[in-house]
Structure 1
Amino acid sequence: AFSNCTGLKSVSIGKGVKVLNGSVFEFCSSLSWVEMRVGLKAISDHAFGSCTSLKRIELSDSVYHLDKYAFYGCTNLQSIKFGKGVSEVSPYAFLECSALVEFIVDEDNRSFVSINGSLYTKDLKELVHYPSARKEPYFIVPKGLVSIRTGALLGPKYLKRFVVEEGNGSFIAEDGVLFSKDLREIVRYPAGKGRSYSIPYGTLYISEDAFFGCSLRNMVIPDGVRTIGMYTFYGCTSLTSISLPGTLYSVMDHSFSKCSSLKKVYLRDTIETLSVGHCAFAFCDPELRVLSDVPGFEVEPFEMKGVEGFYIPEGELPMFSGTLGLEWESVSDQ
């Protein structure tokens, strides 16, 4: 209804409004003040997407649900206060809120609590969101923490290492990098840690968001890794090339989106079939090339938004036809 109203500066949401529908205030770039009165119950996806002038949000006590991408791209949002009614926060509700410093939670809220500005479930068993602009160089994983919600750690650039309290049964830190206790899954790499990293052998899974917003230039993914999760390397703008292991069978949605310097993807010769998700390589370098000599290799179609020309040199990937649009098609489908 108000999407792209770039002159809109303030909004008071009346008692009769129960739900803010998707994209209702999206791209209202001058919107800097929002009043939410009691009565509002839910904020849908992209409702405040790219409202880049918002700095603080206070949710009324009646708001109970925040949908995915509710505040996506609010790059100047610094503080969010939860009323006592908030009980549901979807993954990626605060995607690309790069200035976020703190969550404040009403002491009567039964679902969430704020510890040092970070958002946890009330029982402290799950980290819901760690503000991206926190300046602490390390994050201490509490003894009782059981899980980290998808979208909880979205590239805090000052974070250089994880420290796991003794007695934690779910996580372990290796050289400052967070893994599952059995070391089969890499959970999070500190965004400010370094420019080069080799994932240890024995790792089978790379978690969603694991390298989100990191400053990595070089990355080695060993054989054994089977899946690369959603948003895993999203926004790794310094990453120029990556080699995908022969054991890999799935690259999920947005895995390499906005890796704006990514020019080369190497497919190892033991790959048989690879499923590539929606927008997995969106907004990478326009000259992105896939290099491989894998005979009979097949891939499912995927979108290449932001890439005007996707060049596959003759002989390097002979089982594909390159397109100049949004899809990459297998010759076997023609």
Structure 2
Amino acid sequence: LQYVIVPYGVERIEQEAFSRCTALKAVFLPESLSYIGKEAFDYCNSLKEIELPDSISEIDDSALYDTGITEINLPENLQYLGNNALPKKLNYETENGIQYYGNWAVGCDTDKDTKSLTVREGTVGIASGAFSLSYGGDINIPSTVEYIGNNSFKSAYSNIQNVNVSEDNKYFCSSDGILYSKDMSQLICYPAGKDETSFDIPETVSEISAYAFYENKYLTSVNFPDSVRYIDDYAFSYCKGFTELSLPSGLLEIGKNAFANCSGFESQYKLDIPDSVTKIGENAFASSNMYITRYTENNSNIEMVDDWIVAGDDFFKSHEINFAVRGIADGAYKEKEITDLVLPDEVEYIGESAFQDCRILENINLPQNIVSIDDKAFMGCENVDIISIPDSVSHIGKSAFEYCYETVKTSDGIDYVDSWAVGADKTMKSLSVREGTRGIAESSFYGCTELETVQFPEGLCFINDEAFELCIGIKHTVLPESLLAIDKGAFAYCITLDEITIPENVLYTDFASFFGCEKLNKITFMNPETIMYPSALTIDENAVIYGYRNSFAQKYATLFKREFVALDGNSEEVTGDANGDGNIDIADVVAISAYVANPEKNTLSEQSIINSDVQNVGDGLTANDALAIQQYLANIITSLPV
């Protein structure tokens, strides 16, 4: 393999995709590409040059490290740079102990006498592992930094004491040497060298980032506010001083290895997992003295943390779990040689790779309370035959049943597991989802670039994450009235989709559900209460949003400056209504003033501009129009236009 052309439409090059292709000389990457995975081109020694498109936002660990590349362009959209992600033969620049490539800080020196390292002004990103060789002291971050890797301050010597951020930085802040996002909703780094024995996490924090407290040897306890929802991978790993732990009541997810090797807890320490938790990552509590051993009727031992199975046993091939279990953690039974397993009725969550590659598994029941079956949950279970998916299930993850030859049934180009569609023939131009289907699993139709039409049956309730992402041929489709939820990225990058109606029963449309649908000129929300994820990326910027006055759809359109058309009346009738809500109030004054100050940033629709031109009609919007509406609201004048 000497030459590779990656076709347009490919978004990701996964881990080790071209690793050790030692003869590879040239590779051409498309503008659709956003991610290059770990070691993707590592050990491609004959690869001397590569052009990275500006669409790339992430380059993961060692992606290009051991190649022959001596010069490279950094994409304009780059937001994450992994540890040793760039080629080792690049001409790096070192200034005041910090190594740079372009406007990214990528490494530092190992001088034991260095007490402080200051990232230079103009730097926009700090790569993961950038300060892994720092001996300690303070790290100072300038106002220009926008992106920081998830383990940038994980030092091999565990002596960094403070991370300080310029007060002028718009993206990050620090308090007492602890690094946060600007709004302090995310705790990014509690330096390993801080020597306090306890710490109260601020009530603003909802997420503890990956590696945030990694290897802090001084802390014996951390107090969580109930605001914390996510504890990411390795967040508290190797905090060996911990002797007590109480998790917050609103916690949703615990990442892989989050509390691994916290060996200071007493043997069989009893940790309560809040009922709010829906996911526990692989090895989240490994080597932390928290496992409680429970036994099935045939004496198979199962390792538990509270009411979650974290590690199964395959000494006996068949066993029945006869005690309450709420969830099965990621990877709990991965590659175990079991043939039969009976799960208790209480199980609600089956984690990522929970039963992956259990190749001799033949029989397993899915209890009637299960809510979610995560990515790769049964992947590679070649002999298992799962006949029924309970109606309680609302989410099936990516590749959950891949290579389950006995379970997956194909009909008219679509793969099914009971009442869920889980995959499709990517060459089909037209597909009809069969009657009785309740859900479309994550990524089921992802990248079906030939698909032009798809028909949905009544009774369909769920369209999961990325279900139709990159189905670039779909121009329009009709969603069934029974639909309840549209998950993350469900129709992202359907670049020819021009019109869609969100039925009345839909409860929410999640993040990026219609992002990148650049030709979407009409999206109609039939229910005023349908929630739209509050991000500019949820719906493409070109879309015109149709909905009812004072609905969530209108609030979204106003917040993110999208054109809105009311279904319950013509905004042409409301002179002075700048924001299209059908009313004349101070919000219209604010909208006009913002537009006059910066019309490119604070846009108004054509109709809103017509509505707002109330002083000397025809001369365009000015500050006098805002003043006239203020006078109208104060009853100084009695009618509009003036």
- Are 1:332 and 2:335 counterparts? no
Aligned match of 1:160 = 161
Amino acid in structure 2 at the alignment position of 1:159: I
Distance between the aligned counterparts of 2:139 and 2:221, measured in 1? Answer: 24
Write the deviation string for residues 86-111 of structure 1: whole angstroms up to 9, x where unpaired.
7489665469xxxxxxx972699656
Aligned match of 1:127 = 126
Check 1:86–1:286 CA distance in 2 against 1; reply closer, same or farther (3 A cut): farther
Distance between the aligned counterparts of 2:254 and 2:187, measured in 1? Answer: 15
The answer on whether the counterparts of 1:82 and 1:104 sit within 8 Å (CA) in structure 2 is no
Distance between the aligned counterparts of 1:183 and 1:61, measured in 2? Answer: 43
Aligned-pair CA distance for 1:112: 3.9
Amino acid in structure 2 at the alignment position of 1:193: K
Aligned-pair CA distance for 1:141: 1.5
Distance between the aligned counterparts of 2:46 and 2:119, measured in 1? Answer: 17
Amino acid in structure 1 at the alignment position of 2:175: E
Aligned-pair CA distance for 1:283: 3.0
Check 1:226–1:47 CA distance in 2 against 1; reply closer, same or farther (3 A cut): same
What is the percent sequence identity of the aligned residues?
17
Q: Secondary structure at the match of 2:139?
A: strand
Distance between the aligned counterparts of 1:113 and 1:70, measured in 2? Answer: 16
Amino acid in structure 1 at the alignment position of 2:346: S
Amino acid in structure 2 at the alignment position of 1:203: V
Distance between the aligned counterparts of 1:119 and 1:45, measured in 2? Answer: 30
Aligned match of 2:189 = 188
Aligned partner (choices 227, 243, 248) of residue 245 of structure 1: 248
- Are 1:266 and 2:284 counterparts? no
Aligned length, in residue pairs:
267
- Are 1:221 and 2:232 counterparts? no
Aligned match of 2:324 = 319
Q: Secondary structure at the match of 1:320?
A: coil
- Are 1:144 and 2:158 counterparts? no
Aligned match of 2:204 = 202
Q: Once structures 1 and 2 are overlaid, which stretch shifts more, 225-234 or 151-160?
A: 151-160
Q: Which runs of 5+ in 2 are unaligned?
A: 5-12, 28-35, 53-57, 95-99, 110-116, 294-305, 316-322, 335-342, 348-366, 368-642
The answer on whether the counterparts of 1:235 and 1:258 sit within 8 Å (CA) in structure 2 is yes
Aligned-pair CA distance for 1:43: 8.7
Check 1:286–1:170 CA distance in 2 against 1; reply closer, same or farther (3 A cut): same
Check 1:277–1:169 CA distance in 2 against 1; reply closer, same or farther (3 A cut): same
Aligned-pair CA distance for 1:330: 6.4
- Are 1:62 and 2:49 counterparts? yes
Q: Once structures 1 and 2 are overlaid, which stretch shifts more, 255-264 or 15-24?
A: 15-24
Distance between the aligned counterparts of 1:250 and 1:231, measured in 2? Answer: 13
More strand by share: 1
The answer on whether the counterparts of 2:243 and 2:264 sit within 8 Å (CA) in structure 1 is yes
Check 1:285–1:113 CA distance in 2 against 1; reply closer, same or farther (3 A cut): closer
Amino acid in structure 2 at the alignment position of 1:266: L
Amino acid in structure 1 at the alignment position of 2:163: F
The answer on whether the counterparts of 1:261 and 1:284 sit within 8 Å (CA) in structure 2 is no
More helix by share: 2
Distance between the aligned counterparts of 1:132 and 1:67, measured in 2? Answer: 18
Check 1:172–1:212 CA distance in 2 against 1; reply closer, same or farther (3 A cut): same
The answer on whether the counterparts of 2:122 and 2:144 sit within 8 Å (CA) in structure 1 is no
- Are 1:171 and 2:185 counterparts? no
Aligned-pair CA distance for 1:189: 0.4
Aligned-pair CA distance for 1:243: 1.1
Distance between the aligned counterparts of 1:21 and 1:235, measured in 2? Answer: 28
Write the deviation string for residues 214-242 of structure 1: whole angstroms up to 9, x where unpaired.
22332222222111112212332333432
Aligned match of 2:320 = none
Amino acid in structure 2 at the alignment position of 1:85: I
Q: Secondary structure at the match of 2:271?
A: strand
Aligned-pair CA distance for 1:164: 1.7
Of structures 1 and 2, the one scoring higher in RCO (CA 8 A, sep 6+) is 1
Aligned-pair CA distance for 1:259: 3.1
Q: Secondary structure at the match of 1:219?
A: strand
Aligned match of 2:72 = 85
Distance between the aligned counterparts of 2:344 and 2:131, measured in 1? Answer: 41
Write the deviation string for residues 42-98 of structure 1: whole angstroms up to 9, x where unpaired.
99549989xxxxxxxx99863779964549xxxxxxxxx994227489665469xxx
Aligned-pair CA distance for 1:303: 5.2
Distance between the aligned counterparts of 1:330 and 1:220, measured in 2? Answer: 33
Aligned match of 2:92 = 105
The answer on whether the counterparts of 1:282 and 1:303 sit within 8 Å (CA) in structure 2 is no
Q: Once structures 1 and 2 are overlaid, which stretch shifts more, 184-193 or 206-215?
A: 206-215
CA RMSD of aligned residues (A): 5.0
Aligned-pair CA distance for 1:128: 1.3
Distance between the aligned counterparts of 2:37 and 2:166, measured in 1? Answer: 36
The answer on whether the counterparts of 1:151 and 1:209 sit within 8 Å (CA) in structure 2 is yes
Distance between the aligned counterparts of 1:257 and 1:48, measured in 2? Answer: 29
Aligned-pair CA distance for 1:169: 2.1
Check 1:155–1:332 CA distance in 2 against 1; reply closer, same or farther (3 A cut): farther
Q: TM-score, normalised by structure 2?
A: 0.34
Distance between the aligned counterparts of 2:118 and 2:282, measured in 1? Answer: 29
Write the deviation string for residues 233-291 of structure 1: whole angstroms up to 9, x where unpaired.
233233343210111111123322333445536327xx33312333142532355359x
Distance between the aligned counterparts of 2:327 and 2:183, measured in 1? Answer: 41
The answer on whether the counterparts of 1:86 and 1:111 sit within 8 Å (CA) in structure 2 is no
Check 1:169–1:246 CA distance in 2 against 1; reply closer, same or farther (3 A cut): same
Aligned-pair CA distance for 1:191: 0.9
Check 1:44–1:248 CA distance in 2 against 1; reply closer, same or farther (3 A cut): closer
Q: Which runs of 5+ in 1 are unaligned?
A: 1-14, 26-35, 50-57, 72-80, 96-102, 291-296, 309-317
Distance between the aligned counterparts of 1:321 and 1:258, measured in 2? Answer: 24
Write the deviation string for residues 284-307 of structure 1: whole angstroms up to 9, x where unpaired.
2355359xxxxxx975x65589xx
Check 1:37–1:326 CA distance in 2 against 1; reply closer, same or farther (3 A cut): closer
The answer on whether the counterparts of 1:40 and 1:60 sit within 8 Å (CA) in structure 2 is yes
The answer on whether the counterparts of 1:111 and 1:122 sit within 8 Å (CA) in structure 2 is no
Q: TM-score, normalised by structure 1?
A: 0.59
Q: Secondary structure at the match of 1:132?
A: coil
Q: Secondary structure at the match of 1:243?
A: coil
The answer on whether the counterparts of 1:320 and 1:330 sit within 8 Å (CA) in structure 2 is yes
Distance between the aligned counterparts of 1:244 and 1:121, measured in 2? Answer: 38
Amino acid in structure 2 at the alignment position of 1:243: S
